[in-house]
Amino acid sequence: MPSSPNLRIALITGAGSGIGRAVAQALAEAGWQLALLGRREAALRETAASLATPEALVLPADVTDEAQVSHAFAQLEARFCRLDLLFNNAGVSSRKVSVDELSVAEWRAVVDTNLTGSFLCARAAFALMKRQQPRGGRIVNNGSISAHVPRPFSAPYTATKHAITGLTRSLGLDGRAHDIAVGQIDIGNAATSMATPMQQGILQANGQIAVEPTVDVAEVARAVVYMASLPLGANVPFMTVMATAMPYIGRG
């Protein structure tokens, strides 16, 4: 169905839980119409049921699979005719062990999801944003504090998040000619299920185990909504949202 000229369309990857679900809820409250992409259809439908806007488009897909990503974006275009925001959020981590104990398969699983998945979704969004009328849109990549500094035993995750920064910069440069704005949000200790280890005690750079503070995931979602709300002539290239007292600012 053709979209209303005043309707803003957002696609969120990893939308079935955590940060993805919180951002979906915040965008819905701000009046966005949503497409929810992720591997678990049941979780996506739970997110859709929690939204304040009309029924969201549920897109079960694996971001590592080129054909599945292409099919999902074709469904999006058929439903809404355009895309105004892609939140590249899907991501995984690996076992917390020394790099010599990681298999190549474990390395590739993280790279395929965090980096190649973000590339595949950005590529599809870029193509649609270039040809739609009016043209243009925004891509927000979920980086991480790990895009700046690593935690112990996190080589695959940290490497991909550093690479996301390069992807953000490159897409931002290439998007200028097409009214496509690209930014990145780097998140530290958002209070989701993934942050449970921080609340129980997590390994620090000096070898100690320490409990770390967390920040309400709703604050992260508010930040993404702000980035998304800007006119395409303005952009937040990089934003860091973190628990104020987490040990990131300082020496480990």
What does the pLDDT look like over 36-91, one tens digit per residue?
Answer: 999 999 999 999 999 987 789 999 999 999 999 999 999 999 999 999 999 999 99
Q: Determine the Cα–Cα distance for residues 108 and 113; give it in Å rounded to an integer.
A: 8
Token readout for 180 is: 């496509």
- Dihedral angle of Cα 199, 190, 170, 124, to the nearest 10 degrees: 120
123-148 pLDDT per residue, tens: 999 999 999 999 999 999 999 999 99
Q: Which residues are catalytic?
A: 157
Q: Determine the Cα–Cα distance for residues 65 and 116; give it in Å rounded to an integer.
A: 9
Q: What element of type H or E holds 86?
A: strand 85-88
Q: State the pTM of this model.
A: 0.94
